Structure formats: C-alpha cells, structure tokens
Amino acid sequence: MSKTKRTFLKWVVGIVLVLWAGVAYYGYRQTDSATSGHSNGLTTVTVGYQKGDPFDIAKERGQLVKKMKAKGYKLVLKQFQDGNALMQALKSGSIDYARAGDTPPVTAQSAGTDLAYVAVGSTKAKGSGILVKKNSGINSLKDLKGKKIAYTKGTSSQYLLLQLVEKAGLSVDDVDWVNMDQSSASVAFAKGKIDAWVTWDPYTAQAELTENAKALSTGVGMSNNRDYILSLQKYAKAHKTVSKYLVSYLEDDMQWADTHHTKLINMLSKSLKLKKSVVRKMVERRHYSIRGMYASVVKEQQEMADNFYKNGITTKKITVSDAVTYFNK
C-alpha cells in the first residue's frame, strides 16, 4: 500500500472516530435529558387525561401547552381510558398529574397511594347515570333487582351504582355487578348482554342518541362526579409553582369552554370522532370550571370514602383532608 493511501485511510478512520464520538455524546445527552425530566432546556411535566375532559379540551385548544412552555415547562399529555388506569399510572410515576372523577382518588388513597388533591371542577352529575334500553321494561330503580348492571371498578360508576342501589332500597347483593371497562360495556349494552349500564359522558350522550337508551336516573343528588386534578404528595410539595400555573391556565381554558359552546362542540366533535349532536348534549348539560380545593368538596369525598368502607368496597378507613393541598382558592 502506498504512503498516500495509508495517509488517506488514517484520515478516514480519524473522521469516523470523531463522528462516532459525537453521536455517542449526543445520544448520552439525549438519554440524560430524558432521565432528568428535561427536554431542550424545558422541564417535562406529564399529565394523564381522558377523552372529553378539561385537559383534552385544553390540548385541542392549544393554549395550555404554549403557556406552560413560556414558563419553562414541556407539557406532555397522555390519554387513558378511565380513572383506575390513571391512578395506576400516577402511582407508578409514569405521569405527574392525573385528571379523574370522584371515585378513583378515594379508592387510590384507601389502597395506600400517597395522593394529593390539587384542584377540583364543577359537577358532571347530569351527564352521569344508569342507562337502560327504552323497551327493556325497566322503569324504576326497584326494577333493577336481579339485573346485570355494567360498571367499571375504581371509577365514578362504581360509587354511583352503590348510591342508586341504596336509593332503590335494595342491597348490594340484589343486583348482578358486572365489572368491565367502558368500551366493553358499550358493546355489551348495544348487544343486550347486560340489562343496565352505569356510565358518564360522552358515553351517556352517545347511547341516548344512538342506542335507544334512556337514563333511568342521573347522578344528580347522588354523585357529583367532579373533575379532580391529582398528583402524589411528594411531587405536589416539590412542584407548587407547576401546580399553580397548571391550574390557572386550565381555568382559562374552562372559562373559554363555558362561553364558546359552538366552537367547543365543533372542536370536540372532530377530536372525539363523535356526531355534533352527541357532543352538544354532553356540553350543554354541564358547566366547565377548575379551581383549588374547598371544604364542601372535601366533605363530598369523605362521604364517599365512608360509604365505601361501610360496604366493604375499601378495607381501610381514610381521612380525605389528609390528601388535600389548598391553594389558588
């Protein structure tokens, strides 16, 4: 091999080694960034949500992510099917905040999760309820005796079903509790494999408008099924500024949602892939808001916790106020 060729090969090898070192360093920096929770100089904050909820609205509107970025945070939004799955993700540390209904935080706290209530929304009771087919012959809550009723364990539907059974003067053993996720329950209801289904919007609205369903009872007076923004105590205590920004900006989105129904309906119809009539029914029977926790909602949650413990649904008696962080009142 000529001297010229040897010199050329040395240069090639040298360049390759420099490039390899650069790629390796870049890969390390990327891994280190992901591990430390930072991306491009921004601190990553991960939020779990469900379709049609306040964070879903904020995601589609696009302002929340921009506002958080301006404060130095990269907001990552992950969708989950129900509150039970959200609580599992929160406990595992795969998300920093979760938006769930009223029941998941109670069952999670009872199971030992070091939960922190960060904020609360308004009631969604009118959009929650127990559905039956219009031609089912079930016309009162008492008619539910011996019937198969679908619900999802660890979600707001579990508490509402308990309340409905008690209101009917029945015992928990008088009905057949069928635990399944909401998507499976929707299919089972459509095929007539269950007699009744306890659910929430947009499932409720869709079934009422497309599955010949009627609400035998709503959650009004029994379960407010509010939106709760939740975290873990350790994270919430160390990230009070993040929580403050998140709640404040989310409230801006909720004020927009409450005063721009037409735009909201059009937006959610596309994102949820639902008919506008379904989304309109969901939107027009609720009020949108988010604020810091306050005494009366803590009382609501405590009543639920006590009821669950009394009926053996949970095995640990809890004090809800132990999990509450008060701010932004």
What does the alpha-carbon distance between residue 284 and residue 258 come to, in Å, rounded to a whole number?
A: 9
Task: Look at residue 171 and give its three-state secondary structure.
Answer: coil
Residues in contact with 34: Cβ distance below 8 Å, sequence separation at least 6, in sequence order: none
Query: Is-above-0.75 flag for pTM?
Result: yes
- Within 212-293, strands assigned E span 213-218, 228-232, 290-291
How far is it, in rounded angstroms, from Cα 114 to Cα 289?
26
pLDDT of 7 strictly over 90: no
Give 41-85 pLDDT, tens digit per residue: 899 999 999 988 999 999 999 999 999 999 999 999 999 988 889
Longest dimension (CA), the chain: 99
What CATH code is assigned to 38-122+226-323?
3.40.190.10
Give the integer Cα–Cα distance in Å for 202 and 194: 19
Q: What pLDDT, in 10s, does the model give residues 119-161?
A: 999 999 999 999 999 999 999 999 999 999 999 998 899 999 9
Query: How high is the pLDDT of residue 205?
Result: 96
Please state the CATH superfamily assignment of the domain spanning residues 126-218 in this structure.
Periplasmic binding protein-like II (3.40.190.10)
**38-122+226-323 and 126-218 agree in CATH topology:** yes
Q: What is the mean pLDDT of residues 226-245?
A: 96
User: What is d(CA 148, CA 193) in angstroms, rounded to the nearest whole number?
Assistant: 8
- Indicate the range of 138-142, 155-159, 246-250, 324-328 predicted with least confidence: 324-328
Whole-number pLDDT of residue 39: 53
Cα distances (Å, whole numbers) of residue 291 to 98, 243, 253: 15, 11, 12
Residue type for position 92:
S
The whole-number pLDDT of residue 15 equals 45
Query: Do strands 115-121 and 228-232 pair parallel, antiparallel, or not at all (unpaired)?
Result: antiparallel
What's the number of CA atoms in the CB half-sphere (13 Å) around residue 315? 2
List the domain boundaries for the chain: 38-122+226-323, 126-218
Question: What's the CA gap between 326 and 131, in Å, rounded?
Answer: 36
Q: Give the DSSP letter of residue 324.
A: B
